[in-house]
């Protein structure tokens, strides 16, 4: 342990521990959201407002948490979400996450904004299953090169983030003049000269970076372009309505991540738990549906599965683990959530993921 606190027992304790070992600027960047952070809070509360309906007198001596996502078998239905700049939490950054996710038997979704290149991350855990999260640059040549590199490095899917034409107004980052300290860069963009985002300028360096080079003109045309460009299955991340979910399927998406970017983009956007079921219904099995935002307990995962998600993604929780104890911390966070899900299934009389159904969840009365 890099600090003197007792080993955290849950994700909130990891968050508190991380707060003691991270510089304020980094903690705020990880923890914060847009404007009043209403969607950050609501993501969390929406899971808590839901109640589980356990069954009894079921033999739960053995539980099976395995599933498949896009045809790949994983040990439990929790993926690590793409989060930028993992090396702000720990020098091993995305490499540590790659090793921990692979050892745990799950998928790492690697961000375009990684502090190690996508090839370095792949080499850190060659047997791992990983997806590449894509941000589209105005220069389609850059985007094309990222896509080709991801396929060449063995990534299994492209996860296009569609909720970030601009960066949300993250006031903590503006106040802290958020940017990257010396030595850290957008490693994937090195060859294109878009790797620098130094801290200490006027306001958030991230905001300026994004406004200068990302494509705010992205439409469904780009989804078709990507679908035709790459053999990798396409997952759209950042869908919050049934209408867009249907369009995603119509434009060839194989997966949808119901997400409001952890409350970091449009503040006041609906919580993900509150729209999950209608999106699952709209998609009607034509694509896999995943969800992220505010998942902090195994019971939250159960609720998501009950509402029809195939798997969930966690963002901040693994960043806290990484900050507290590097690869070991990420491994512990994944194991905590896996074990909580396992126990919740046991206590609910649902020994397999398939036995978790829409009858499992209701609103708190």
Ligand X SMILES: Cc1cc2nc3c(=O)[nH]c(=O)nc-3n(C[C@H](O)[C@H](O)[C@H](O)COP(=O)(O)O)c2cc1C
Min dist CB 122 to ligand X, Å, is 17
Task: Name which of 241 and 355 has its Cβ closer to ligand X.
Answer: 241
Q: Catalogue the E-assigned strands of 181-258.
A: 234-239, 255-258
φ/ψ of residue 36, rounded to 5: -85, 5
Alpha carbon of 302 to those of 100, 146, 250, 352, 358: distances in Å?
Answer: 22, 35, 29, 11, 10
229/144 Cα distance (integer angstroms): 8
**In the complex, least distance from residue 39 CB atom to ligand X, rounded to whole angstroms:** 10
Minimum CB–partner distance for residue 258 and ligand X (Å) = 10
The answer to whether 3 touches 13, Cβ cutoff 8 Å, is: no
Nearest CB to ligand X, comparing residues 60 and 178: 178
- Under a CB-based contact definition with an 8 Å cutoff, are residues 272 and 43 in contact? yes
209 vs 327 by CB, closer to ligand X = 209
Whether residue 302 contacts residue 348, with contact meaning beta carbons closer than 8 Å, is answered with yes
CB closer to ligand X, 44 vs 99: 44
Q: Which residues of 152-177 are buried (b: 16+ CB within 10 A; e: fewer)?
A: ebebbbbbbbbbbeebbbbbbbeebe
Quick one: 130 or 316, whose CB is closer to ligand X? 316
CB of 253 to ligand X, least distance (A): 15
Residues that bind ligand X (CB under 6 A): 29-30, 43, 81-84, 111, 113, 133, 161, 237, 259, 261-262, 264, 292-295, 314-316
Kindly list the catalytic residues: 261
CB of 314 to ligand X, least distance (A): 5
Alpha carbon distances (Å) from 355 to 249, 283, 306, 363: 26, 21, 9, 19
């Amino acid at each position: 342990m890099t600090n003197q606190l007792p080993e955290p027992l849950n994700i909130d304790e990891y968050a508190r521990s991380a707060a003691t070992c991270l510089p304020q600027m980094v903690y705020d960047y990880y923890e914060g959201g847009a404007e009043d952070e209403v969607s950050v809070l609501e993501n969390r509360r929406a899971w808590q407002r839901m109640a589980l309906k356990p069954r009894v007198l079921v033999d739960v001596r053995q539980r099976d948490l395995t599933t498949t996502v896009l045809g790949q078998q994983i040990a439990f239905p929790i993926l690590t979400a793409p989060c930028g700049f993992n090396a702000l939490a720990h020098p091993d950054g995305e490499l540590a996450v790659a090793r921990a996710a692979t050892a745990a038997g799950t998928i790492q979704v690697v961000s375009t904004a990684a502090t190690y290149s996508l090839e370095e991350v792949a080499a850190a855990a060659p047997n791992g299953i990983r997806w590449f999260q894509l941000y589209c640059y105005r220069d389609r040549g850059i985007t094309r090169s990222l896509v080709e590199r991801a396929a060449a490095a063995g990534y299994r899917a492209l996860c296009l983030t569609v909720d970030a034409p601009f960066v949300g107004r993250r006031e903590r980052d503006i106040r802290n003049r958020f940017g990257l300290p010396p030595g850290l860069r957008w490693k994937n963009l090195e060859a294109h000269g878009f790797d620098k985002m130094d801290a200490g300028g006027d306001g958030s360096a991230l905001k300026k970076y994004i406004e200068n080079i990302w494509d705010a003109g992205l439409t469904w045309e780009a989804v078709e372009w990507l679908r035709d460009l790459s053999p990798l299955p396409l997952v759209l991340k950042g869908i919050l309505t049934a209408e867009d979910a249907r369009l995603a399927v119509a434009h060839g998406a194989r997966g949808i991540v119901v997400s409001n970017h952890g409350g970091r983009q449009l503040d006041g956007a609906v919580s993900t738990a509150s729209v999950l079921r209608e999106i699952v219904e709209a998609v009607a099995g034509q694509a896999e549906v995943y969800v992220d935002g505010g998942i902090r307990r195994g019971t939250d995962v159960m609720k998501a599965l009950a509402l029809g998600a195939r798997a969930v993604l966690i963002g901040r929780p693994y960043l806290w683990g990484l900050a507290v104890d590097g690869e070991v911390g990420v491994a512990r966070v994944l194991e905590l959530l896996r074990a909580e899900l396992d126990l919740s299934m046991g206590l609910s009389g649902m020994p397999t993921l398939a036995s978790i159904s829409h009858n499992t969840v209701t609103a708190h009365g």
